[in-house]
Chains A and B, each alone.
Chain A
Amino acid sequence: MQHANDIQKNWRALRENGDPAALKFLFDHFYSPLFAYAVKLLQREALAKDALQNTFADLWQYRRRLSSDVVVRAYLFRAVRNHCCRLLRKQDSFVEIDRLGQQLAFEPEELQLKDAHLRQKQMVARALNNLSPRQREIIFLKYYENLSYQEIAEVIDINYQSVINHAHKAILKLRERNDLNFF
């Protein structure tokens, strides 16, 4: 829980004192998980880098407008998501926020399954990629990023009950596939 305290402390130092060291702390702490999310949403590392630069630049520039009463992690994931959407829109003005994550896909190599052969991993990845984009994004945020369902609701801006319903349906769909005894 020490981490949680440090995060809150640095969030406050950023808001109230404009302390660059606080920005550095949040940057170091969240860069990797946020980058992984941006890569998943955008499919391109160069673009994902830009999304993170923009996110942290905004965080600094608008620090006085930040709210004290947020779950910092959820706030940052949400901010990255918004910036990813903005970047996609620059390339194609018709991108809707709903289209974000359409491309989100899983690779067999990403999966960490006990005693599983590559073939099994391929089957699991294929099953995951057959889920709806929403479900895939929730699966990613839950199992890769370890966010709580409450945080996921904040990040993708739908209500908690819908997140649970999406996740439940996804799990049922994966379980239908009897050949996937990977749990």
Chain B
Amino acid sequence: MKLEQFLADPSFENWAKRSNEADYLRWEAWRTENPAYATLMDEAKLMLTGIAFRKIEVPEQKKQEEWQALMQQLGLEGREATVRPLHRRRWWAGAAAAIMVLLAAGWWLFLRPVEPVWTTAATGFGQLRTLELPDGSAATLNANSELRYPETWKSGQTLRLELEGEAFFDVRHKKSGEAFIVSAAGVETEVLGTRFNVFARRNHPVVGLLEGSVRLTETQTGATALLEPGQSAQFDGEKNTFRIASDRATEQASWKNHRWLFDNTPLSEVLQRIEDEFGLPSRVGKESLLDRRVSGQVSTEKLAVLLQALEILLDVKIQEEGGVLKIEGR
């Protein structure tokens, strides 16, 4: 973690200002696990909270004098008076307007469609973030991802979220009729109390289930699939069905513990993941290197450590040059 990454993370600011208890506790725990960062965290905290100043408001009267002076300078005196006197209109026009207002107010109060206010949560490269959803469920966003969801939710309603990137969901147990739907690149995942991962980059979403059950629907074709724990599924656009793989779900969701778990994973996939989550594209010396397979666990907290681990696991040399990773066989 670098200073800038702390500063750019809204949840870190919540820790520094103690404006969100969940974020505060999460960062306190992180700090205990990473004592080497304690000093940098304190410095970043001071950079956000710092010193309190007594603010001076310009008195309203002085402000209005300045405004009048400005209007005079611009030759706009009197024009800013936008309220027109009512007596110029006919009385019935006023009455008609009043009735219209009443009708509109009635429509507004009783008949208007409920338009939810949407919230967007996003992460930058190399950044994870956990947030609480309005229904009490938790979502952990992987790096370079964005989740949109309504600000409020009422018991009994469907909660619909839109995802770009990758996220892990821990859904609070649902009463019947309370659907929880994640919509990502044309695939909708509908769940009852469960833990699952949705990967939605480059238009090929992969959904992995850890606990509970989910139903997937591809919105264009209407194709559906029911997942069991441990399974992950991806829509096959040629056959118009879901391809289901067993035993990949845990591996897929390992990112949320700041780890990547590989099981005979080709380097091409690993490099794509680094580009997705750290924003670093790569170039390989020889095309055949891309087929090299890697198994094992690597920490993703520091890019340098991750790259070192990959060098050893794959027996290659990795160098960063001008924002591009160069990979050479040894």
Contacts and interface: CB of A to CB of B under 8 A. Distances in A.
A36 B58 CA distance: 9
Interface string B47-86: 1011111111110000100110111011010011010000
B79 A20 contact: yes
Contact of A164 (B7, B69, B71): B7
Given A24-B67, A49-B66, A112 B52 contact: yes
> Which of under 10, 10 to 19, 20 to 34, or 35 or more describes the interface residues of B?
20 to 34
A167 B55 CA distance: 21
A144 B43 contact: no
A144 B53 contact: yes
Contacts of B69: 53
Interface residues of A, number: 39
Interface string A147-165: 0010000000000010010
Given A21-B80, A52-B66, A139 B50 contact: yes
A124 B51 CA distance: 10
Contacts of A75: none
A20 B54 contact: no
A110 B53 contact: yes
Contact of A31 (B43, B63, B74): B63
B56 A36 contact: yes
A183 B49 contact: yes
A182 B51 contact: yes
Contacts, number: 86
Nearest to A161: B4
Interface of B: 3-4, 7, 43, 46-47, 49-58, 63, 66-67, 69-71, 73-74, 76, 79-80, 82
29 contacts: A20-B80, A24-B67, A24-B80, A27-B63, A28-B63, A31-B58, A32-B58, A32-B63, A36-B56, A53-B66, A53-B69, A57-B73, A57-B74, A60-B76, A109-B54, A110-B54, A111-B52, A112-B54, A124-B51, A128-B51, A142-B47, A143-B52, A144-B53, A149-B7, A164-B3, A168-B3, A168-B43, A171-B47, A183-B49
